[in-house]
Structure 1
Amino acid sequence: MRICVVGSGYVGLVTGACLADFGMDVVCVDQDESKIARLQAGDIPIYEPGLKTLVAKNEETGRLRFTTELAPALESAVAVFIAVGTPPREDGSSDLRYVRDVAQAIGGQISGYKAIVTKSTVPVGTGRMIEEIVGSGRCRSFSVVSNPEFLREGSAIEDFMRPDRLVIGSRDQRATDIMLEIYSPLRARGVPIVVTDVETAEMIKYASNSFLATRISFINEVAELCERTGADVQVVAHGMGLDRRIGPLFLRPGPGFGGSCFPKDTRAMASMARDAGARVQIVEATLEVNRRVQERMLGKIESALGDPRGRTVAMLGLSFKPDTDDIRESPALFVLDRLLSRGATVRAYDPAAMDNARRFRPDAIYCGDPYEAAEGADLLAILTEWNQFRALEFDRLRTLLREPSIVDLRNLYEPERVAAAGFRYASLGRADGAPDSQRRPASAIPAGAAFGSEAG
């Protein structure tokens, strides 16, 4: 089956490459000539593990091609996937200008039946908008389908090839049958498929991401409460997650959620509710908590560092999560910006995101590895949970840092282990660690700071 994917950004490129690997004949279209030139030359413009290999493999077989010409790609395609950006407006609503542009272009150029599939994350009602725009063109033979993506940056290929579920929103059986044929490899693997109407499919995506963001904000508030009461958030989250009604995922405290999805989608859902004359107060609270959590992370660093002016901080991690170079709304970028603005020197290292961060704050010092970043710093802060940051050589760090102080905003280490290596150590939702020479006497430890054997 021949497929046209309009938009060769993150979602479009992953979608095109994976559909080609399913055996489809895929043409990816983008109006950005420089991007298409790079893709045709084998240069992948985004960082995603395994994507370069997958693209090269399917280009070699002839199943995946890139072009700036929409009309020829549309002509022979049975399905047209819309995978363009839907950036947020200032009020949090989704800017659908690129979706409208693509719909107008499709409506003006198709001549035979097409299944027009929205892969972009779009608010409820966008499917009907596309139907109206395309229907005003010369062709009346088409169907609009909602097929939201659930791709996590850093594991997008695995998520596409082995998803938890596949959601198809359609108004007619012909379009549904086309989608089921496209995804026949997933059907053969027994992937659950939700077939519903377009509006419900559009809502599933927003409800899913808003719920996951809410879990993150919830456990971050629990972490703050644990710090104030002497409980251990790691054990609390584990105890919660063993309840099958709750489960363990998205219960890890951190510096807040970021990236291209959760902040944008939660704001869009709140905006969508307002437009519908309703409020999603839990989602609104989730956003406010996330903002406050990022401020609290800065406070934890400044509490360990003192006045940032004239001090040096080694920052490990700039991307919003590991295995991506995406810095969009990254909590690490918030901390970086605030520290620099308050007069600190920041020596930063990230395995993938430094080029992007350099465009955001060129005045930081970008280093070649964690140890170069630590050289001469007054404090080391861990902002992103890259695996290589889980195996730092503490003896080496102690000789490089001006002061043996670590603030771990991802809870990568046990406080006792770091303290035994001679560091002052602060993390989230747990007691701080300190070398034996700096420990408070037992009488100074607040009641409830140590675990007893009773189960409450």
Structure 2
Amino acid sequence: MADGPRQRVAVFGAGYIGLVTGACFAELGHQVVVRDVNPDKIELLRSGDVPIYEPGLGDMIARNKERLTFTLDVREALDGAEVAYVCVDTPPSPSGDADLSRVWSVVQSLEGASHLRAVVMKSTVPVGTGTRVRAALDAAGLRHVGYAANPEFTAEGTAVRDFLHPDRIVIGSSEEATARLVEHLHRGVDGQVVMMDVLSAEMVKLASNALLATKISFINEIATVCEKTGADVGHVARAVGLDHRLGPHFLRPGIGWGGSCFPKDSEALRQLASNTGYHPPLLSAVIEVNNLQKRRAIQRLKDELGTLEGARVALLGMAFKPGTDDMREAPSTVLASRLLAEGSEVWCWDPLARPGQVQPWASAVRHASPQEALEGADAAIVVTEWPQLEEVDWVWAATAMRRPVLFDGRNLLDPARMRAAGFTYLSVGRP
């Protein structure tokens, strides 16, 4: 896809970010080896299967099989590699700080890889991590190896497109040669390159996700006020979004954000600030509003039904967003847990999600279609805005349910149509 010499890249981590990074670099013509510690995952990838659902990723991996390989062996990954990309998870620790144990495991495994030209951090890490990694590389005799922060801005469901056509490519490094090397790796990517210091690059990712989360919590709080006053948040959000200073993106009210980034990164930024002695009141409020949205949904059903004890509630959608199978920090998990705690029977449907036999899903009944989940239910909640839900025969559903009560947590459906179908229809911020 791009002109110029190709590089040999070692990618550590075969999760969402690592696989997309590795596949896209191979698509750009580089020779890529992806290394992971999970034998089952590597075996699947070697056999041509992709362990996650991401549109276009499987085809890209198959298309670049001559340039993209997978291994469990660190030495095999590093053999001849010029650049090592760190793409491992950094989940919250019990203290709320990011758990960097996987990052440090990768850094330690680089000892002796003197042929490397650069180590690049793609994982989301606290501000200041790069300084510590730089010191660790120096102590390991890799002072000549450059270091850069290259945060990712991909969204699940559109990750391949986001990588190849990003709004910006952020590169943080104190060494110009390293920054130029990372820039060269992205040659052929349609996006503006923005270079800066490592600390600022680390902050960009956290700040970006915190601002997006703020917009969502803000419109959810406006939606609550709309409910109290009779205003329609749909009209309000549409008109607000037409202001060029604000824009329409992330002004859709609902039951709150989830996934692998917003919850983790917002909490990580709050913890980072707290560790410096500063309590961030705005960010704390953003997180609190998001947490309350899911509990408000349960309370509104409870108010409508009188009690949730013994009620059968259908959760329509389980993944945190459509177009992905990811259940990390999914609102559905909180909803199912609260319903079970209230004594409800939980039925659920999702076309892709794979939560496994863990609570609360071990106590829920999974169905193959929305219709199956709705039949005999006392109430339903639209949790994920899957397009299949717009195709449901809601007139039939109203007669098939024991009580036709529906809380549309994504404002997916038309209120007039749902009420005409016979539903007691509740939504977010709409009269």
CA distance in 2, matches of 1:91, 1:291: 19
Among residues 28, 32, 35, which one is paired with 1:29 in the alignment?
Answer: 35
Equivalent residues of 2:38, 2:72 under 8 A apart: yes
Deviates more, 1:85-94 or 1:396-405: 396-405
Residue 154 of structure 1: aligned partner: 157
Matched, 1:105 2:109: yes
Secondary structure of 1:26's partner?
strand
Given the superposition, is the C-alpha separation of residues 113 and 373 from structure 1 closer, same or farther in structure 2, using an over 3 Å criterion? Answer: closer
Query: How many Å apart are 1:276 and its aligned residue?
Result: 2.2
Residue 53 of structure 2: aligned partner: 47
CA distance in 1, matches of 2:233, 2:246: 16
Output one character per residue of 1:275-310: Cα deviation in whole Å (capped at 9) or x when no partner. Answer: 223232211111111112221111122222331111
Matched, 1:123 2:122: no
Equivalent residues of 2:80, 2:115 under 8 A apart: no
Equivalent residues of 1:100, 1:133 under 8 A apart: no
Residue 220 of structure 1: aligned partner: 220
Query: How many Å apart are 1:22 and its aligned residue?
Result: 0.8
Amino acid in structure 2 at the alignment position of 1:41: S
CA distance in 2, matches of 1:10, 1:305: 40
CA distance in 1, matches of 2:306, 2:34: 52
Secondary structure of 2:140's partner?
coil
CA distance in 2, matches of 1:279, 1:300: 32
Output one character per residue of 1:331-368: Cα deviation in whole Å (capped at 9) or x when no partner. Answer: 11111111122211111101111x31543321111001
Query: How many Å apart are 1:395 and its aligned residue?
Result: 2.2
Output one character per residue of 1:77-111: Cα deviation in whole Å (capped at 9) or x when no partner. Answer: 111100011010123211111111111111x1212
Deviates more, 1:277-286 or 1:372-381: 277-286
Residue 400 of structure 1: aligned partner: 400
CA distance in 1, matches of 2:305, 2:17: 40
Equivalent residues of 2:297, 2:407 under 8 A apart: no
Amino acid in structure 2 at the alignment position of 1:279: H
CA distance in 2, matches of 1:138, 1:168: 24
Given the superposition, is the C-alpha separation of residues 194 and 12 from structure 1 closer, same or farther in structure 2, using an over 3 Å criterion? Answer: same
CA distance in 2, matches of 1:33, 1:224: 47
Residue 18 of structure 1: aligned partner: 24
CA distance in 1, matches of 2:356, 2:45: 23
Residue 262 of structure 2: aligned partner: 262
Amino acid in structure 1 at the alignment position of 2:164: M
CA distance in 2, matches of 1:227, 1:357: 36
Matched, 1:178 2:177: no
CA distance in 1, matches of 2:357, 2:255: 21
Given the superposition, is the C-alpha separation of residues 381 and 113 from structure 1 closer, same or farther in structure 2, using an over 3 Å criterion? Answer: closer
CA distance in 2, matches of 1:72, 1:423: 60
Amino acid in structure 2 at the alignment position of 1:430: R
Among residues 74, 95, 110, which one is paired with 2:78 in the alignment?
Answer: 74
Query: How many Å apart are 1:327 and its aligned residue?
Result: 1.4
Output one character per residue of 1:91-148: Cα deviation in whole Å (capped at 9) or x when no partner. Answer: 3211111111111111x12122421000000011111111111211133210110000
Amino acid in structure 2 at the alignment position of 1:183: H
CA distance in 2, matches of 1:139, 1:193: 27
CA distance in 1, matches of 2:415, 2:243: 27
Counting only pairs closer than 5 Å after superposition, residues 224-263 of structure 1 correspond to structure 2 as 224-263=224-263
Counting only pairs closer than 5 Å after superposition, residues 34-433 of structure 1 correspond to structure 2 as 34-59=40-65, 62-106=66-110, 108-186=111-189, 189=190, 191-353=191-353, 355-356=354-355, 358-360=357-359, 361-431=361-431
Amino acid in structure 2 at the alignment position of 1:236: V
Equivalent residues of 1:318, 1:357 under 8 A apart: no
Secondary structure of 1:231's partner?
coil
Q: What RMSD, in angstroms, separates the aligned Cα atoms of the two structures?
A: 1.2
CA distance in 1, matches of 2:211, 2:412: 25
Matched, 1:9 2:15: yes
CA distance in 1, matches of 2:376, 2:301: 17
Amino acid in structure 2 at the alignment position of 1:417: R
TM-score of the two chains, using structure 2 as the length reference: 0.96
Secondary structure of 1:398's partner?
helix
Q: Which has the larger radius of gyration?
A: 1
Deviates more, 1:219-228 or 1:282-291: 282-291
CA distance in 1, matches of 2:278, 2:423: 50
Secondary structure of 1:359's partner?
coil
TM-score of the two chains, using structure 1 as the length reference: 0.91
Equivalent residues of 2:183, 2:193 under 8 A apart: no
Over the matched positions of the two proteins, sequence identity in percent amounts to 44
CA distance in 1, matches of 2:59, 2:304: 44
Secondary structure of 1:324's partner?
coil
